[in-house]
Amino acid sequence: MFLVTSISLLAQVTTPSLTGRAGGGAALLFIHWNPDVVAFTIGSFGIRWYSLCWAIGLLLTYLLEAKLFKEQKIPDEKFEPLFIYSFLGILIGARLGHCIFYEPEYFLSSSKHIVEMFLPIRFLADGSWKFTGYTGLASHGGTLMFIVALWLYSRHTKVPFLTALDNIAIVTPICACAIRMGNLMNSEIIGKPTDVPWAFIFEQVDQLPRHPGQLYEAIAYFLFFFVGWWFYRRRPERVGTGFFFGLDIFLIFTFRFFIEYTKEVQEAFEEGMLFDMGQILSVPFILLGGYFTWRGLKKVKEHGY
């Protein structure tokens, strides 16, 4: 429902126009994309679309995960800590991942910049600071710390580690979908120039028609959610084998590796690289996902389910 609603919203906040191919030829219907980054305001405080999408994604994940816990008869007292561990793991990992993988020359250059890694502020030249929110988050770092956070959660609650991984993996793609819709509303992580008829012109960036890479990923993650949910409904006893975790990681990061070919590089140092940073960081997760998928299927075969 979230993706359908967001695409409906897309039609409302953009103004389609006919833009010709470079060099002449038939006109194509491109989408001019220039939404306000603020969804609504409460007094003088503005709620950004990106924050709203994050909140929607987390809420949907929370509700779906609660359903899984109830179905598997996992005690209620072991559910609430899961989201504290998960939220902190994802946020800390995604923030540090961006700072270390994509902008180390800035964030590691002074003590003030190191503070900016952890706090959503930016120090100004006159010594003052302003609230900026977390302006850079990397999914690879978030995923890595998320796994660590689930390991800590498992040790604390005694919920088996693979059970925690599998349950989260079943529902996580719906949150990833919501986050990418937030990127779309922010006109960030844009695609390369193209003349496909569904190209977006991100007016906050330039006037070139580009691949809507954020939308590609959002749709893919939405579909991956239904793939995992379908497998779970057919064989819920597979939870705890690592199969769902492996399948989720493998699908997401394999798709991420190939979709990078349609996206602009995020940092200047990636120009001219055979594989950009997103692709390089995806490879270990693809291998990890493949291993856990194979391991899970092996366990399924051994136990006859």
* Predicted confidence (pLDDT) at residue 180 exceeds the cutoff of 50: yes
Tell me the residue ranges of DSSP E strands in the chain.
15-20, 27-33, 38-42, 45-48, 121-123, 129-131, 200-202, 209-210
Calculate mean pLDDT across residues 107-118. 87
- What is the tens place of the pLDDT at every residue in 182-226? 999 999 889 999 999 999 999 999 999 999 999 999 999 999 999
Which tens digits make up the pLDDT trace of 60-82? 999 999 999 999 999 989 998 99
Between CA 80 and CA 69 the distance in angstroms is 11
How much is the average pLDDT of 86-115?
Answer: 86
Q: What pLDDT sits at residue 304?
A: 67
Do the beta carbons of residue 142 and residue 90 sit within 8 Å? Answer: yes
In tens, the pLDDT along 137-147 reads: 777 888 889 99
Which tens digits make up the pLDDT trace of 241-275?
999 999 999 999 999 999 999 998 776 676 777 78
Predicted TM-score of the model (pTM): 0.81
Question: Closest by alpha carbon to 192, among 215, 216, 209?
Answer: 209
| pLDDT band, residue 169 (cuts 50/70/90) | very high
Cα distance between residue 139 and residue 91, in whole Å:
10
Q: Domain locations in the chain?
A: 2-6+48-191+213-303
Average pLDDT over residues 96-106: 84
pLDDT number for residue 117: 87
Kindly report, residue by residue over 11-63, the tens digit of the pLDDT: 444 444 444 444 444 445 789 999 998 888 888 788 889 889 989 998 999 99
Question: In the predicted model, is pLDDT for residue 171 greater than 90?
Answer: yes
The per-residue pLDDT for 103 is 84
As a whole number, mean pLDDT of residues 138-163 equals 91
pLDDT of residue 238: 93
Closest to 35 measured CA to CA, from 50, 45, 19: 50
Q: Is the pLDDT of residue 135 over 60?
A: yes
How confident is the prediction for the chain on average, in pLDDT?
86
Strand, coil or helix: what is 208? coil
